[in-house]
């Protein structure tokens, strides 16, 4: 009888222990997150192929469960960008890993943020003559773009007049239909949330065509900025590495770097970056770019869109070409006309042809955060750009309140930089200083009135190029001795390819959009 009780007791103990182990396993599963693990190869280890390296990476994973599936834990095993891997791990498992020979560091991955026609002419580039002709328009160069994907059917990615890719090219086309050609020679996706390298947000399509889009006649947005759209290197080959969708996770970005190096690109362009100050040894873009440079690959990165505050520049490693954003001499003109005859030129890509020239009551709604206590129906509303609401948000609020139009006035820190964005109602964005003059006019009379005159595309701004207010400024805190950004390029109101139509129904194969950001400048000056 005593033996029976002893056996039962041990069975209960074993069962409880097993239950605890199982519960701990479940807890760990719930606590898993993606870690970037960096390793250092011991001197006595040599791996002749990638399979052996992958198995070594697997050896760092936990072995607490006999049923552990290491292949499902490893997200990426890196070969070129650095020695290490990305894997789903718990904090406790990382602590155990630290004891193993070859371990250097491990940390949870961060999410990085995206930095988002006439430009070639403004830069002095003309077809078949001068610098463009001397450089062969990028012929034979392979540009790898790490971004949100690409829209392969867009005419900007036609391979008309394109030679086959260089023999060194080893890349892949992961579309589920025949999409790649002699222009778009590769497309791969590393974002686990999507099924293909297709671009649904537009950023990757826009930046790719800015860099190396083919010639497309009649490109425009709602009839504005009409002309021939073309990238800065129209005879270069493109390879897209989709590393972003809603987020740009570091593990995916490293995987894109790794693949681009192996595939044989000549240039890597990156229009994203970390939000905050990160030392070089902990910055995956700096690490990836350094490895690429060692392989003879040039790397250009956007400086970020946190200007004009000082010390906001990103991607400031000395081995990276860091590009800020500046204006071109093209404006899509929308002039605020006041009752006293004063005129102040602003911009908008929405140019209605039927907007009345009749002077309408003008009212100041400050940041336009709340219009419920203000009667704006049939009036022109002055809003400033302060607050968390975007230009579109403010426009929609003003439109829904029944206003006829909106004058958008810059905050002081954004000075003279105005953007030709698509608006939801008749709008003009004016400079801070012109906005002050409009406010002074409104204070000078009991019945202020105004209208907006839409004048379309105007070439010849004598002040261009000027640095855009949003373009991030130096110094780069991690390396004070090197001035960053290195250069600036056209990044304000850039017309380029877009996945879908904007504001009207058009052919899905010939859609364009106007976008501003250091992303655009990074790609326009990637050469």
Any idea which residues carry the catalytic annotation?
147, 203, 519
Task: Output b/e per residue, 32-65; b: 16+ Cβ within 10 A.
Answer: eebbbbbbeeeeeeeeeeeeebbebbbebbbeee
Whole-angstrom distance, CA of residue 346 vs CA of residue 407: 9
**What are 17-24's contacts with CB under 8 Å, separation 24+?**
none
Distance between CA atoms of residues 419 and 517, nearest Å: 10
How far apart are alpha carbons 211 and 471 in whole angstroms? 19
Residue 66 burial (10 A CB sphere; 0-12, 13-18, 19+):
exposed
Question: Residue 47 carries which DSSP code?
Answer: -
- State the first-to-last Cα distance of the chain, in angstroms, to the nearest integer: 87
CB 313 within 8 A of CB 472: yes
CA distance 159 to 224: 26
**Which residues partner with 229 through β-bridges?**
216
Cβ atoms 242, 194 nearer than 8 A? yes
Tell how strand 360-364 and strand 449-459 pair up.
Answer: antiparallel
Q: Tokens representing 306?
A: 């946190």
Cα(303)–Cα(335) distance, integer angstroms: 31
Burial label for 134, CB within 10 Å (0-12, 13-18, 19+), is exposed
């Amino acid at each position: 009888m005593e033996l029976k009780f002893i056996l039962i007791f041990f069975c209960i103990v074993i069962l409880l222990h097993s239950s605890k182990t199982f519960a701990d396993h479940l807890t760990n599963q719930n606590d898993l997150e993606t870690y970037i693990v960096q390793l250092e190869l011991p001197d006595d280890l040599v791996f002749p192929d990638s399979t052996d390296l992958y198995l070594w990476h697997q050896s760092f994973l936990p072995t607490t469960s006999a049923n552990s599936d290491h292949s499902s834990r490893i997200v990426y095993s890196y070969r070129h960008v650095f020695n290490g891997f990305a894997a789903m791990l718990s904090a406790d498992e990382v602590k155990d890993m630290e004891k193993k020979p070859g371990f250097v560091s491990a940390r949870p991955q961060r999410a990085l943020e995206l930095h988002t026609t006439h430009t070639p002419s403004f830069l002095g580039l003309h077809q078949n003559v001068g610098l463009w002709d001397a450089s062969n328009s990028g012929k034979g160069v392979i540009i790898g773009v790490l971004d949100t994907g690409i829209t392969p059917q867009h005419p900007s990615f036609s391979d008309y007049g394109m030679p086959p890719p260089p023999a060194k090219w080893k890349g892949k086309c992961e579309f589920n239909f025949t999409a790649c050609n002699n222009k778009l020679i590769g497309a791969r996706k590393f974002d686990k949330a999507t099924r293909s390298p297709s671009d649904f947000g537009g950023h990757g399509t826009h930046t790719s065509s800015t860099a190396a889009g083919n010639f497309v006649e009649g490109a425009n947005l709602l009839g504005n900025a009409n002309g021939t759209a073309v990238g800065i290197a129209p005879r270069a080959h493109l390879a897209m590495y989709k590393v972003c969708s809603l987020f740009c996770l570091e593990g995916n970005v490293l995987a894109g770097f790794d693949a681009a190096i192996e595939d044989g690109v000549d240039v890597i362009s990156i229009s994203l970056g970390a939000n905050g100050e990160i030392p070089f040894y902990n910055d995956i873009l700096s690490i990836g770019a350094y490895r690429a440079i060692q392989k003879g690959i040039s790397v250009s990165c956007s400086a970020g869109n946190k200007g004009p505050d000082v010390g906001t520049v990103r991607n400031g490693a000395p081995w990276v070409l860091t590009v800020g954003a500046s204006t071109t001499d093209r404006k899509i003109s929308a002039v605020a006309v006041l009752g006293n005859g004063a005129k102040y030129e602003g911009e908008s890509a929405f140019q209605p042809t039927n907007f009345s020239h009749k002077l309408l009551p003008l009212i100041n709604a400050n940041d336009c955060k709340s219009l419920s206590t203000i009667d704006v129906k049939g009036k022109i509303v002055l809003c400033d750009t302060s607050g968390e609401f975007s230009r579109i948000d403010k426009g929609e609020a003003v439109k829904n309140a029944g206003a006829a139009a909106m004058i958008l006035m810059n905050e002081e820190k954004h000075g003279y930089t105005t953007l030709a964005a698509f608006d939801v109602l008749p709008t003009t964005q004016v400079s801070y200083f012109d906005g002050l003059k409009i406010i002074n006019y409104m204070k000078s009379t009991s019945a202020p009135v105004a209208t907006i005159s839409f004048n379309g595309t105007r070439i010849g701004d004598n002040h261009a190029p000027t640095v855009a207010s949003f373009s991030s400024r130096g110094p780069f805190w991690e390396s004070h001795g090197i001035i960053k950004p290195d250069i600036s390029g056209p990044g304000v109101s850039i017309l380029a390819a877009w996945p879908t139509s904007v504001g009207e129904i058009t052919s899905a194969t010939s859609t364009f959009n106007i976008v501003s950001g250091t992303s655009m400048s990074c790609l326009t000056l990637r050469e």
